[in-house]
Amino acid sequence: MFEFRFPDIGEGIAEGEILRWLVEVGQRVEEHQILVEIETDKAMVELPSPVAGVIRECQGTPGEMIPVGSVLARIEEAAAAGSPEPKKPFAVGVVGELEEAQEPELRVEKSEESTLLPRDRKLARELAVDLKQLRGSGPQGRITERDIRAAAQQAVEGQPEKVAERIPLRGIRRSMARAMVASVSAAAQVTTMDTADGQALQKLRMREQAVAKERGVSLSWLPFIVKALTLVLEQFPLLNSSLDQEKGEILLHPQIHIGFAVDTPEGLLVPVVRDARKLSILELAAALQGLAQRARDRKITPAELKGGTFTVTNYGALGGLWGTPIINPPEAAILGVGRIEDVPVVRDGQVVVRPSIPLSLTFDHRIIDGATAQRFLNALIEHIEDPDLMLLES
């Protein structure tokens, strides 16, 4: 009997959650046939059978967490799979074999208190009180109206609150919940907010739309903001760092890997654009678009979800204006981008309409002080408002 165990798929993954079995006990499977889908804290993986044969046992049910190395299934290999299935127990009689019957259950009925008044019986029915479960407080133990009403009230008070539906916290949502709790528990998180005038960036974006369309790329605001981020992170390395608490050291990362939040039906995923500093705006747009689509299609790989040094979340795409985003551990900061819309502003003493870009920077105050965070945000705004700086520094 071949024991198929949950393999070590790398990326530091120690456990996974069973999403669903694609086979059942007694089914014949071929080598490389997918047996089960497993959700890790990185991505969903499909595990194929290393042998051909018959499934004799499946260990674990959907929603169950299993550690790497544990037995998932037992497979009778093809060479030995011709043995007959075990028969159910049978009884032998003069007219042949009969499948054994189950023992019938005995039911014992309890009688009501014979001296109960008819009106009290009616009240008990109306209040759904089981008279068999009551002990009366009246003479000779008679059940009274007070006993019935007290039992009904006790049942209401002890009844759990009704809910429309119970949804198990599993998969990506469970991983996200753990990460967010760990983040707010470990880091001293502070959020500072400001706005950028997007007029010049809007003109650049419109000018590049034709080229982007020729390359099959959707050119949103995000690639420009990510490009500006990579340039400013070079000037403020503490924002591109993480804290090693055990050693008491701040780790400055030599590369800039930008994670970005993607909303999927199963929960939030954060793909990572690696070496984002080396990419042009159009290359960033293509990378962001491709990673986001793979995340939504659940075709993203674990490697594409790890190694970020700074994260950006564009909740403005869904209509949000301001937020206090939570840092993606072990990073030092995260940028939230709100809804970009035309607003009246004063320029040179005149009220004019400009596209406003709301920015919310959450940073770890153990690593970054408020002055550094604001200088970083000021520099980011400067690059957004003067896109020529992006072209000059690229």
Task: Report residue 133 CA to chain centroid gap.
Answer: 46
Please tell me the distance from the alpha carbon of residue 228 to that of residue 277, in angstroms, as a whole number: 9
**Structure tokens of 12?**
């530091």
From 32, 253, 257, 365, the catalytic residue? 365
Please tell me the distance from the alpha carbon of residue 228 to that of residue 84, in angstroms, as a whole number: 68
Count CA atoms closer than 13 A to 326's CA, side-chain side: 15
Task: Report residue 73 CA to chain centroid gap.
Answer: 27
**Is residue 268 exposed (0-12), middle (13-18) or buried (19+ Cβ within 10 Å)?**
middle
What single-letter DSSP state applies at residue 12?
T
- Extended beta strands in 64-141, E state: 65-67, 71-77, 90-93, 96-99
Please tell me the distance from the alpha carbon of residue 239 to that of residue 189, in angstroms, as a whole number: 13
For β-strands 333-337 and 262-264, DSSP reports them as: unpaired
What's the one-letter identity of residue 339? R
CB of 335 closer than 8 Å to CB of 280: no
Q: What is Dmax (Cα atoms) for the chain?
A: 109
Helix (H, G, I), strand (E, B) or coil at 160: coil
Does residue 365 have an active-site annotation?
Answer: yes
Please tell me the distance from the alpha carbon of residue 197 to that of residue 341, in angstroms, as a whole number: 10
CA triplet 344, 349, 351: central angle to 5 degrees? 20
Q: Considering Cα of 159, then 162, then 168, then 172, what sign does the dihedral take?
A: negative
**Four-CA torsion 327, 255, 241, 305, nearest 10 degrees:** 30
Q: Which residues, in sequence order, are CB contacts of 355 under 8 Å at separation 6+?
A: 197, 198, 199, 201, 202, 340, 341, 342, 343
- CA-to-CA separations, 206 to 319, 338, 385, in angstroms, rounded: 21, 20, 15
Catalytic positions are: 365
